[in-house]
């Protein structure tokens, strides 16, 4: 669709989803949130796609935030609905049974940082700036920022970013655990796609089990989490991929996983 706010391209088993509103610094309006939700629903349903990469169009921004022009006239009820819409999209990404890599190529502010945090891995250009500046608008984060910051970076960092509203650079974000890797801006795409290609050759059912255990374990007590891990570990022994992986190790060759 020519009027879609997204660009979607497949590179073998890797699907790249690009928020394509560079004139608005890729700000998230309602239409873009819905399009992202639908795009990741499609990724979940397509066996040929094993890894997703999410980024923003243009050199300036991953996503600079939610669309303030759209938000400014909302009532309290409409604001709550907009938050729910955003959280629905973020949760769809976070619970995807396939790895999602955020390729943070510039500003990731407000809803943009919330979008990046919903991804499983984050690679940032050294020029990237990240933050939750909603307090400067008389708002709070509404797409899960307070909760995912708390879980990823801890209470002190979550309070610092949300209360002060000042962006941080990529090096500080890496120090806080908000991003996994920081690379030179010129190498960002190559390094991200290299990682995506590596994940695309891994055992899909094992990746799914890892994502499921970590997502579920982060929301429950240690004993419940360990029991869930044990159950998932046992299920892995029923897969052809497990047999292939162990056979390849013993035979000193590369495994060829078939997602079954």
Domain termination residue (choose one: 159, 178, 200): 200
pLDDT recorded at residue 216: 86
Output the CA–CA distances (angstroms, integers) from residue 203 to 120, 129, 160, 197, in the order listed.
Answer: 17, 34, 39, 12
Residue 56: pLDDT over 70: yes
Each residue of 92-116: b (16+ CB within 10 Å) or e?
bbbebebbbbbbbbbbbbbbbbbbb
**Distance between CA atoms of residues 45 and 38, nearest Å:** 11
**109 located within any domain:** yes
pLDDT recorded at residue 99: 98
Residue 124: pLDDT over 50: yes
Same domain for 176 and 213, yes or no, is no
**260 located within any domain:** no
Same domain for 96 and 185, yes or no, is yes
pLDDT recorded at residue 109: 98
**Distance between CA atoms of residues 239 and 258, nearest Å:** 10
Alpha helices, DSSP H, located in the chain: 30-45, 68-71, 76-94, 111-118, 145-153, 155-164, 170-176, 188-200, 204-217, 222-236, 240-250
32 confidence band (pLDDT: 50, 70, 90)? very high
| Count of CB atoms situated within 10 Å of the CB of 10 | 11
**Catalytic center residues:** 114, 134
Percent of the chain with pLDDT over 90: 88
pLDDT recorded at residue 1: 43
Contacts of 47 (CB under 8 A, 6+ apart): 259
Residue 2: pLDDT over 80: no
DSSP 28: B
Same domain for 95 and 208, yes or no, is no
pLDDT recorded at residue 189: 97
pLDDT recorded at residue 12: 95
**65 located within any domain:** yes
Residue 234: pLDDT over 90: yes
- Residue 189's domain comprises 6-200
Same domain for 64 and 153, yes or no, is yes
Q: What is the mean pLDDT of residues 105-116?
A: 97
Same domain for 160 and 227, yes or no, is no
pLDDT recorded at residue 154: 94
Residue 44: pLDDT over 90: yes
Residue 110: pLDDT over 70: yes
pLDDT recorded at residue 217: 82
**Distance between CA atoms of residues 177 and 200, nearest Å:** 24
Same domain for 239 and 132, yes or no, is no
- Residue 208 is part of a domain; what is its CATH number? 1.10.12.10
The lowest-confidence range among 6-20, 177-191, 237-251 is 237-251
Residue 256: pLDDT over 90: no
pLDDT recorded at residue 259: 85
pLDDT recorded at residue 221: 87
Same domain for 106 and 232, yes or no, is no
Residue 191: pLDDT over 90: yes
**Distance between CA atoms of residues 171 and 175, nearest Å:** 6
Same domain for 71 and 124, yes or no, is yes
């Amino acid at each position: 669709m020519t009027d879609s706010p997204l660009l979607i391209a497949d590179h073998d088993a890797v699907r790249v989803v690009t928020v394509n509103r560079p004139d608005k610094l890729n700000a998230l309006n309602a239409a873009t949130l819905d399009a992202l939700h639908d795009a990741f629903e499609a990724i979940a349903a397509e066996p040929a796609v094993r890894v997703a990469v999410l980024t923003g169009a243009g050199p300036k921004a991953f996503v600079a935030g939610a669309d303030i022009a759209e938000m400014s006239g909302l009532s309290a009820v409409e604001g709550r609905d907009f938050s729910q819409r955003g959280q629905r999209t973020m949760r769809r990404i976070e619970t995807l049974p396939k790895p999602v890599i955020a390729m943070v190529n510039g500003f990731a502010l407000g809803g943009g940082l919330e979008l990046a945090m919903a991804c499983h891995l984050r690679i940032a250009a050294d020029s990237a700036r990240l933050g939750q500046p909603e307090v400067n608008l008389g708002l709070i984060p509404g797409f899960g920022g307070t909760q995912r910051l708390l879980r990823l970076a801890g209470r002190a960092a979550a309070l610092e970013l949300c209360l002060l509203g000042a962006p941080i650079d990529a090096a500080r974000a890496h120090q806080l655990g908000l991003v996994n890797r920081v690379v030179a801006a010129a190498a960002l795409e190559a390094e991200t796609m290299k990682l995506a290609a590596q994940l695309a050759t891994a055992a899909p059912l094992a990746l799914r089990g890892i994502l499921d255990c970590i997502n579920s374990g982060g929301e429950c007590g240690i004993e419940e989490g360990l029991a869930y891990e044990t159950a998932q570990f046992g299920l892995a022994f029923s897969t052809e991929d497990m047999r292939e992986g162990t056979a390849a190790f013993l035979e000193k060759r590369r495994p060829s996983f078939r997602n079954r």
